[in-house]
Chain A
Amino acid sequence: MPAEATAINMAARASLWLKPHRIVLILIALALVLCAAFFMRWDWLPQYWEMGLLGIWRALWILVVTCALGFTLAVPLGLAQAGGPFWFAVPAKVFCTIIRGTPLLLQLWLLYYGLGSLFPQYPWIRESWMWTYLRQAWPYAVVALTLSFAGYEGEVMRGAFAGVPKGQLEAARAFGMSRFKIFRRIWLPQAFYRALPTLTGETVLQLKSTPLVATISVIDIFAVSSKVRQDTYLTYEPLLLLALIYMTITGILVLIFSRIEARIPVKIG
């Protein structure tokens, strides 16, 4: 009986979601995809799909690593601005303003072609173990994207830390919690919950920033699509496929974040 009940329930939910206009929309989307599949040129696909998969993998790991590292950096940046003494708050503010105020492409170039080209002038760097990493491009890409994410998310965390009601922190202090414990158990979790909705948007923005790494010779999925365009001089086919890939990745990201959001206790503040 319960199995039957859930089945009916699911069918009811599906019919609720599948309203007539939604069916029309889905049919239009399908028709567009079919048109693209039949009337456009896809003969280049077999030659490039392997490179494409590698490109997707690169874009994904750069995204995950830089978002994780960037968020870790954003917490102290936000904390310093929200509640730190001014000698912490001012440098954090300056950092966030500079990162948000200049294009990521310029930051990437300054780091790679500017700073990065200074290292080889010192023989002791060239001969050390560091050179194996410093001569490659991906460490610069990771550093630049991490700093960028930290800059934007630091600003968000500032607002989130400031938004936690003072009463909660005072109550925790009244319970005799240590300062670190208050931070770990009360302040950080509540600020995190507040920042979470914007985190989804920032992560999607970060995904769209990863293509810039192609300018310092890291080949991600975007660069693969540019290569197809340059090799074949086709315009729309590689771009449409790329758009589809990005939409899929974004869809998965949004799904993951909404799962996390659903676990958060509803009543905050």
Chain B
Amino acid sequence: MPPGWGGTLLVGLLHSIEIAIGATCLGLLIGTGGAFGKLYGGPVTRDLLAVYTTVVRAVPELVLILLLYYAGTDLINQLLSAMGYQRIDISGLAAGIFVLGVVQGAYSTEVIRGAILSIPQGQIEAARAYGMPPLLMLRRITVPAMLPFAIPGLANLWLIATKDTALLAVVGFFELTLATRQAAGVTKAYLLFFVAAGALYLALTLFSNLIIGRVEARSRRGMPSVKEAR
């Protein structure tokens, strides 16, 4: 490998992971709120959430990122200067996490909603019959019971998030795909760097699969094994 570029690629990978973790966490938060809103909210909340999930899932991420980041920060700055404050510079990292988090939130809303619907209704009714307050019920019953159903879908979303970070190059953020393109463009060793980047992504996937498998097994403890049930 031509000197120096290997390190650049690794820095890009680290940045990708950083953004993906932030975006997934924000997405989970939005997704949990969104799922509960869709299931138990009033008609207005439900319709607004439907608009959010439909629009975000229908429009390509690049378009969303350009619109949210540039139009969004422009709006914030115009508001700030109208109120007499100074313009602020929103860092690529914060904006990237926010924008990808909003996108991830739409997808995880649907995943978590589906998972909550898969919980046997009797369990929730039983909790209610015991007079559990809603928050305790969420913590002790709904979340633990839905996790096994939600994890495969959320795992997919995490893998998508690590790859979607490539889109953040348009907001001036440096990550693995941009690093690959720069390295390949400067050295002209295209095949080498594409394969190297592919291997890095794959390593990240395999590592994630390992962790997710552990988490999934733990969340399923006490449940009948899928294999034995068949």
Complex Cα spacing A113 to B54, Å: 35
Q: Is the CB of A97 within 8 A of B61?
A: no
Give a binary string over A242-254; 1 marks a CB under 8 Å from any B CB, 0 the rest: 1100110011000
Say yes or no: A102 contacts B60, CB within 8 Å: no
Q: Cβ of A134 < 8 Å from any Cβ of B?
A: no
In-complex Cβ contact of B59 among A100, A101, A236, A246 (8 A): A246
Do A106 and B197 contact each other (CB < 8 Å), given the known contacts A204-B58, A247-B58?
A: yes
Contact B201–A103 (Cβ < 8 Å):
yes
Tell me the B29-73 residues at the A interface (CB within 8 Å).
43-44, 47-48, 51, 54-55, 57-63, 66-67, 70-71
Contacts of B198 in A (CB 8 A): 102-103, 106-107, 110
Contact present for B43 and A246 (CB under 8 Å): no
Q: For the complex, is A211 an interface residue (Cβ under 8 Å from B)?
A: yes
Chain B residues near A103 (CB, 8 Å)?
Answer: 163, 166, 177, 198, 201
Determine the interface band of chain A, counting residues with CB < 8 A from chain B. Answer: 35 or more
In the assembly, what is the distance between CA of A5 and CA of B22, in Å? 55
Residues of B within 8 A of A258 (CB): none
Contacts of A100 in B (CB 8 A): 156, 159, 205
B176 CB to closest chain A CB (Å) equals 9
Provide the bound-state CA to CA distance between A119 and B163, in Å: 29
A-B Cβ contacts below 8 A, count: 91
| A-side interface mostly | helix
Tell me if A105 and B177 are in contact (CB < 8 A). yes
Contact A239–B201 (Cβ < 8 Å): no
B194 at the A interface (CB under 8 A): yes
Q: Is B206 an interface residue (CB 8 A)?
A: yes
Q: Which residue of A lies closest to B59 (CB)?
A: A243
- Asked if B230 CB lies within 8 Å of chain A CBs, one says yes
**Nearest-CB residue, chain A, relative to B208:** A101
Query: What is the interface of chain B mostly: helix, strand, loop, or mixed?
Result: helix
Q: A162-B230, A236-B67 are in contact. Are A113 and B190 (CB under 8 A)?
A: yes
In the complex, residue of chain A having the shortest beta-carbon distance to the beta carbon of B51: A25
Contact B159 A246 (CB under 8 A): no
- Rounded to whole angstroms, the CA-CA distance of A97 and B204 in the bound complex is 12
Q: Does B195 sit within 8 A of A, measured CB to CB?
A: yes
Instruction: Find the B residue at minimum CB distance from A25.
Output: B47
For residue A179, CB closer than 8 A to chain B, the reply is: no
What string of 1s and 0s marks CB contacts (under 8 Å) between B165-198 and chain A? 0100000000001000000000000110011011
- A103 CA / B197 CA spacing, docked (Å): 9
> Is B202 on the interface with A (CB-CB < 8 A)?
yes
CB of A239 within 8 A of CB of B66, answer: yes
Contact of B66 among A114, A165, A208, A235 (CB under 8 A): A235
Partner-B contacts on A (CB < 8 A): 19, 21-22, 25, 97-98, 100-107, 109-110, 113-114, 159, 162, 165-166, 201, 204, 208, 211, 222, 235-236, 239-240, 242-243, 246-247, 250-251
Q: List 8 A-B contacts (CB under 8 A).
A: A100-B159, A102-B202, A110-B195, A166-B230, A204-B58, A243-B59, A246-B58, A247-B58
Sample of 20 more A-B contacts, CB < 8 Å, known A100-B159, A101-B201, A103-B166: A21-B44, A97-B209, A100-B205, A101-B204, A103-B177, A103-B201, A107-B198, A109-B190, A110-B194, A110-B198, A113-B190, A113-B194, A208-B61, A239-B63, A242-B60, A243-B59, A243-B67, A246-B59, A246-B60, A251-B58
Q: Closest 4 CB pairs between A and B?
A: A101-B205, A250-B58, A243-B59, A101-B202
